[in-house]
Amino acid sequence: MHELDITRRNFQIDPSLHIWGWEIPVYLFLGGIVAGMMIISGYFLFRERYRDTESASTTLPFLSMVLLSIGMAALFLDLEYKAHVWRMYATFQITSPMSWGSWILLLVYPALFFNMLVRQPRWIERRIPLLERWSARLHRHPAGIKTVGIVNMLLGGMLGIYTGVLLSAFGARPLWNSPLLGLLFLVSGLSSAAALVHLFARSRWESELLAKSDNAFLTLELFLLGLFLIGLLTSARAQQDAALLLLSGVYAPVFWVFVVGIGILVPLFLQSLAVTHRIAHSAMPPLMVIAGGVILRFVIVQAGQVSHWTRVAGLP
């Protein structure tokens, strides 16, 4: 009888476990969307879109700095030993995702600053004339501007992948223990970034490009989600149980309705009609994509903390 009870597989939250609140999902989302915006703005620099005064490349670096700083503040609030943050930069541990992430984030800010130097919003130029002079010097070297774009794309890719690797490195949580999580979060960040930039893009060419790109990102995200779940379902029993949390468990309604439905399928359908000029572009699909990106992080983080390798025995 006891052997039959031990085979029951359910999930219980350990009372001693520190459950992450809103800070980590917010940090992961903002890190992912900034990574996506770095890739997009880097591509625009490489294509010399900065010569167009209506290009979104004027706004993206400054907005990225603001959003990343908010994400870093959220991460700081979650730290238990806040006074020891400086220790992350006293060494570099090649096998530690946290160490990699700390140094990537340190490099992201100067990359964004040089990106912003290419062309700043007018209200910044008026208040800081020195930036305009530095920008004029940078414009004398078009190859240097393209290098800034390439560096932003590379660091954006590394930042986006890191937000998923940060979780997948926790081997004790079977839901996170997947090599696809980093790629999934990168593509999700790109999709959210394309949706956000599409909302305020003034250039029609950029708006059309971002809408089409977002459709491709959403399709790839759906494909990666499927591979992610298939990988869990074909692994050990603890990982199968973890997948069932999303597929049919307590997190299934949120996952299917808000992540897959409202966050991917509905905006993909609407934007497909918009880019083929069957309906007008609207703000609703991009807002759905952004909301789906936020909820995806919350669902993965919360469900991952509930998943575990220990099978809890239902003993009398």
Domains annotated on the chain, with CATH: 2-306 (1.20.1630.10)
Please, what is the average pLDDT of the chain? 85
**CA–CA distance, 234 with 216 (Å, rounded to integer):** 27
Q: Which two tokens stand for residue 98?
A: 């946290």
pLDDT at 118: 85
**CA–CA distance, 164 with 300 (Å, rounded to integer):** 10
- Contact criterion met (CB below 8 Å) for 104 and 157: no
DSSP string, 185-215: HHHHHHHHHHHHHHHH---HHHHHHHHHHHH
- 248 C-beta neighbours (distance < 10 Å), count: 12
Of the pLDDT bands very low, low, confident and very high (cuts 50, 70, 90), residue 127 is low
Q: Examine the pLDDT at 303 and tell me if it is beyond 70.
A: yes
Per-residue pLDDT of 7-26, as tens digits, reads 334 444 443 344 567 899 99
Q: What is the pTM of this model?
A: 0.86
Of the pLDDT bands very low, low, confident and very high (cuts 50, 70, 90), residue 312 is very low
End-to-end CA distance of the chain: 10
Rounded mean pLDDT of 182-195?
A: 96
pLDDT at 120: 72
